[in-house]
Every structure is written in structure tokens, then in C-alpha cells.
């Protein structure tokens, strides 16, 4: 959806900024990983599926498996739910749990993952020919994307608000849990207010900010 979205959380239509889209995880069919060792749901391949510079997906890890290789891609990784994942990245052991800072690694790295205690779902943010970052959302605190395009993956239901440089509201809407809001043009500031009734346990993330600037637009 690009010009308008059905607001699942509030049951009313919400006008989105030009070039924006909302994708719910539940509406996306799972597909095999590139190497066939697991399953994933691709929420975004921007600007298009064939020549993407930004890719957002949620992987399902229910057993030990090697990650697919993506040469020349910058990867970011965070645990959405579950006990977490033990990773080996080029032989270096790491433990990533829900609430931990997003992990960045090279797409060509040799990566093996194993769930710590039961299945997990994990957010993957990939950049190819672009620079950017993934940041954990601070509930009700405005974020400055400082990027050409940006997004929000919501772990909890809530309300997003785009603000201009003076703090005035440009656009706003509700977002269901486990949904992606992607903005083709990043606002000056973006805020997410998690719904109180869906707030998670202390320390659990309410979402992640995703920022990307294609290399042709990046400052030297």
C-alpha cells in the first residue's frame, strides 16, 4: 500500500505521505532463505525487488543453520521475539537476545545461528549500495533519521508521527504490532508512541528505526 493504508489498530483509513507504505508481517508469505536453510518473510525490497538497495525481512530460526551469504551487503540483525540466538560470525561467538542493541556485520561473513531456547523471529535490515543503520526505538522520544529514506518496524502496536523541523505534525497514524512503516522520503523527525495496553515487559523493545541513504545521494 502506498497512498493510503487500512489502519488495523484503529479501524480507520489513514493517509500516508507520498511514497510511503505499510506492510504487516502476517500478510507476507514465508519463503526459503537464499541457501534453503530456513524461512523468512520479506517485508520490503526498495526501490524494487530486482535491484534493491534496502531489504527488510523477518527470519524464523528454529534450529541451528548457516546464514545465507550476501556479498557486498551491510547487514543489521535484532531479535524480535523468543529467547534469542547464539551466532558465530567468522568464528567469533556472540549471543543476541531480545532488547540487545542491533548487530551489524558484513553480508559475506561466514555466519552460523542457533536458537538459545526455542524458535525466534529476527529482524534483518540489509543495505546494498547504500549507507544506513538500525536503531532501537525509544518509546515516545523523537528520532532524527538524517537519511534520505527511513522506516519503522513496530514490535508493539502504537502510533507513529512525522514531525517537521519546528516540531509540527506532518502526518500520523496507527501501526499494528509486527508491521513495517516505510517512508520514501524521511521526515525531519519521527516518533513512535507504543499503545499502553500492548507495552511489553521492562527492557523489551517496542520497535526499531531503519535509516538508509542510497550511495548516489550520500554526502561525501
Q: Where are the domains of the chain?
A: 4-24+133-214, 28-127
For the record, the C-alpha cell of 158 comes out as 502504537
Peptide bond into 25 cis (omega under 30): no
pLDDT band at 7 (very low <50, low <70, confident <90, very high): very low
| Of 203, 159, 164, residue with least CA distance to 9 | 159
- Cα–Cα distance, 115 to 80 (Å, whole number): 13
Q: CA torsion, points 123, 127, 132, 133, in degrees to nearest 10?
A: 20
Tell me what pLDDT residue 19 has: 80
Residue with cell 502504537: 158
Query: Quick check: do 4-24+133-214 and 28-127 share a fold?
Result: yes
Average pLDDT over residues 57-79: 97
41 pLDDT higher than 80 = yes
pLDDT band at 192 (very low <50, low <70, confident <90, very high): very high
Average pLDDT over residues 69-87: 96
CATH number listed for the domain at residues 4-24+133-214: 2.60.120
11 pLDDT higher than 60 = no
Identify the three-state secondary structure at position 131.
strand
pLDDT tens string 144-172:
999 999 999 999 999 999 999 999 999 99
Alpha carbon separation from 11 to 5, 26, 181 (Å, rounded): 10, 17, 17
Residue 175 in contact with residue 157, Cβ under 8 Å? yes
- Cα–Cα distance, 93 to 56 (Å, whole number): 24
| Beta bridge partner(s), residue 45 | 55
Q: What is the pTM of this model?
A: 0.89
DSSP-assigned letter for residue 26:
G
Average pLDDT over residues 112-117: 96
pLDDT band at 200 (very low <50, low <70, confident <90, very high): low
HSE-up of residue 107 (Cα within 13 Å, Cβ side)? 15
Fold of 28-127: Jelly Rolls (2.60.120)
Instruction: Name the least confident of 65-69, 72-76, 186-190, 204-208.
Output: 204-208
Amino acid at each position: 500500500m502506498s497512498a493510503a493504508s487500512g489502519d488495523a489498530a484503529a479501524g480507520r483509513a489513514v493517509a500516508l505521505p507520498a511514497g510511503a507504505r505499510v506492510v504487516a508481517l502476517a500478510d507476507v508469505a514465508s519463503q526459503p532463505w537464499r541457501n534453503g536453510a530456513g524461512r523468512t518473510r520479506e517485508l520490503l525490497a526498495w526501490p524494487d525487488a530486482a535491484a534493491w538497495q534496502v531489504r527488510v525481512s523477518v527470519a524464523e530460526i528454529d534450529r541451528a543453520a548457516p546464514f545465507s551469504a550476501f556479498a557486498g551487503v551491510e547487514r543489521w540483525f535484532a531479535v524480535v521475539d523468543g529467547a534469542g540466538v547464539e551466532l558465530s560470525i567468522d568464528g567469533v561467538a556472540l549471543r543476541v537476545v531480545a532488547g540487545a542493541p542491533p548487530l551489524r556485520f558484513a553480508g559475506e561473513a561466514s555466519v552460523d545461528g542457533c536458537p538459545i531456547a526455542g524458535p525466534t523471529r529476527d529482524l534483518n535490515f540489509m543495505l546494498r549500495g547504500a549507507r544506513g543503520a538500525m536503531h532501537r526505538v525509544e518509546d515516545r522520544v523523537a528520532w532524527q533519521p538524517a537519511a534520505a529514506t527511513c522506516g519503522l518496524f513496530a514490535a508493539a502496536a502504537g502510533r507513529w508521527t512525522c514531525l517537521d523541523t519546528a516540531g509540527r505534525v506532518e502526518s500520523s497514524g496507527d501501526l499494528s504490532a509486527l508491521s513495517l512503516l516505510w517512508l520514501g522520503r524521511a521526515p525531519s523527525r519521527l516518533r513512535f508512541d507504543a499503545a499502553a495496553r500492548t507495552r511489553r515487559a521492562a527492557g523489551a523493545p517496542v520497535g526499531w528505526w531503519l535509516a538508509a541513504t542510497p550511495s548516489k545521494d550520500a554526502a561525501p
